[in-house]
Amino acid sequence: MTANATSELARTLPGKAYCDERVFVREREAIFARTWQYVGHVEKVRNPGDYFVADVAGESLLVVRSVGGMLRAFFNVCAHRGARFASGEGCRKRFSCPYHAWSYDTEGRLVGATNADDVPGFRLQDYGLQACRIEELHGLVFVNLDPGAAPLREDMAGLCERLVEYAPGLPELTFVHRTQADVHGNWKIAVENYSECYHCAIVHKSFFAEGKVSAASYRIVPYGRWHEHLAQSGYEVRGDEGSAHAGEFGAWWMWPNFAVQTHPGYLVNVRQWVPLAVDSSRVTVDWFMPVDAATDEHRAEFREHAATVFQEDIPLIEAVQRGIESRAYKPGPLMVDRDKTGMSEHAVQAIQALWRKSMETNI
C-alpha cells in the first residue's frame, strides 16, 4: 500500500475529542443544547395534567400535557426568584413553587402570586414560565433547547415512516423494563460502539448465534442525521405477527445519542447515551410492550439482554476510553469496506462527520 493510499483512510477522532474537558463543555452547547433530545414515551404524558421532570443538557425541564391537550415543556425556573419549582412526575393542573408559592397552570401562565394585589405595577401576565420546543415522533417525546431548531420531522426526514412501518404500535406500547449502567467512557465511544457490527460476531456470541440475529446480514445505512440498522433473524415471533417485519432486527439511531430498536418478536426498546462527564456516560435501555402482554418469558429475555449484549459492550467502551487516555494513542483507521457490509465502520465515520460539523472543527 502506498503512503498516499494510507492517508486516504478515514480515521478515528483525536484523543482530545474523548478526553478534553473543554471539548465536553463545548459539546453541551454545540450538540446537546441544539438537538432533539428524547425525554420519554408519550404514555408518561397521555392525559391532561400528566407531567414529569427531565434533565437535558444541564437544564431541568417540566414536560406536561396541558389541560387543553397540548404537549408543553418549560424550563424548571420560577419566574419570581428562580427556584426550581417542579420535581418527579404525576398529574396536576397547577404547579406551585415551594419558595413563595407562586402558582403556574399547565400552559406555563402565572395564575397566583401571594400579595400581588399590593405590589404597584405587578401584573401576573408578565411572569410566565419560559417554554422550550417539544415534539412527538411516533410516540416518542423529544425536546430541543434551541428555539431556532428545525422541526423534528424535518431534522429526521424519512425516519417517522420507517418507525411506523417497523414498530406500528409504538405509541400505544407501555414501559416494561429498564436496564441502566454508568460507564467509564465518553458518550461518543458508546455511540460508536453501537454503530458498527465489526465486533458483533466476536463479542456478542449469544445474540448473533446460529438461528438468532444474523451478523452476516447486518447492514447500517446512514440517512443524514439518522441511521438504519437491519438484520435478518431466526427468533421466534411472538406478539404482533401481523407486522411484516416482526421477525427482523431493526434499529434507528438518531443524532446524537438516541436509538429505537425493534427486537425480534415485536419487542421494542429505546436507548440513550447521556454524557455525565467527559469520561463517563449513563446508558439506558427501556423496553416497551403492548399493555399486559409481558410474560415471564419476556422478563427472562430482558434479563438475558442485560447480561449479554448490553453487558458485553461495557468493558469494550471502558477499554477504549482507557486506551485513548494514553499518550500513545493516535487516531487509527476506520475499516470502511467497499460494499458497506455488516463488518464496515462507515456509520462511525458518518457520526464523526456530524460531530465535526456540529463542533465546527476539522480535527
Residue ranges binding ligand FES (CB under 6 A):
78, 80-81, 83, 85, 97, 99-100, 102
Least separation in angstroms between residue 77's CB and ligand FES is 9
Query: Closest CB to ligand FES among 109 and 357?
Result: 109
Least separation in angstroms between residue 81's CB and ligand FES is 4
User: With CB cut-offs between 5 and 8 Å by kind, which of Fe ion, ligand FES, none does residue 78 bind?
Assistant: ligand FES
Least separation in angstroms between residue 22's CB and Fe ion is 29
Query: Closest CB to ligand FES among 76 and 344?
Result: 76
Query: Closest CB to ligand FES among 129 and 159?
Result: 129
Sign of CA dihedral 339, 246, 201, 282: positive
Least separation in angstroms between residue 64's CB and ligand FES is 17
Query: Closest CB to ligand FES among 103 and 361?
Result: 103
The answer to whether the CB of 58 falls within 8 A of the CB of 28 is: yes
Stretch that binds Fe ion, among 111-119, 170-178, 226-234, 306-314 (CB under 5 A): 306-314
Query: Closest CB to ligand FES among 97 and 183?
Result: 97
Least separation in angstroms between residue 98's CB and ligand FES is 7
Query: Closest CB to Fe ion among 23 and 317?
Result: 317
Least separation in angstroms between residue 350's CB and Fe ion is 18
Binding mask 133-172 for Fe ion (x = CB under 5 A): ----------------------------------------
Q: Which residues, other chains included, contact 105 with Cβ-Cβ below 8 Å and sequence gap of 6+? A: 67, 93, 94, 95, 111
How many amino acids of this chain bind Fe ion (CB under 5 A)? 1
Question: Using the rule CB under 5 A, which residue among 248, 313, 342, 343 binds Fe ion?
Answer: 313
Least separation in angstroms between residue 39's CB and ligand FES is 23
User: With CB cut-offs between 5 and 8 Å by kind, which of ligand FES, Fe ion, none does residue 97 bind?
Assistant: ligand FES
- For residues 205 and 215, give the distance between their C-alpha atoms in angstroms, rounded to a whole number: 10
User: With CB cut-offs between 5 and 8 Å by kind, which of Fe ion, ligand FES, none does residue 196 bind?
Assistant: none
Radius of gyration of the chain (CA): 22
Query: Closest CB to ligand FES among 75 and 223?
Result: 75
Query: Closest CB to Fe ion among 286 and 313?
Result: 313
User: With CB cut-offs between 5 and 8 Å by kind, which of Fe ion, ligand FES, none does residue 313 bind?
Assistant: Fe ion
- For residues 9 and 18, give the distance between their C-alpha atoms in angstroms, rounded to a whole number: 20
User: With CB cut-offs between 5 and 8 Å by kind, which of ligand FES, Fe ion, none does residue 208 bind?
Assistant: none
Q: If DSSP states are collapsed to H, E and C, what string results for the chain?
A: CCHHHHHCCCECCCCHHHHCHHHHHHHHHHHHCCCCEEEEEHHHHCCCCEEEEEEECCEEEEEEECCCCCEEEEECCCCCCCCCCCCCEEECCEEECCCCCCEEECCCCEEECCCHHHCCCCCHHHCCCCEEEEEEECCEEEEECCCCCCCHHHHCCCHHHHHHHHCCCHHHCEEEEEEEEEECCCHHHHHHHHCCCCCHHHHCCCCCCCCCECHHHCEEEEECCEEEEEECECCCCCCCCCCCCCCCEEEEEECCCEEEEEECCCEEEEEEEEEEECCEEEEEEEEEECCCCCCHHHHHHHHHHHHHHHHHHHHHHHHHHHHHCCCCCCCCECCCCCCCCCCCCHHHHHHHHHHHHHHCCCC
User: With CB cut-offs between 5 and 8 Å by kind, which of Fe ion, ligand FES, none does residue 356 bind?
Assistant: none
Residues in contact with Fe ion by CB under 5 A are 313
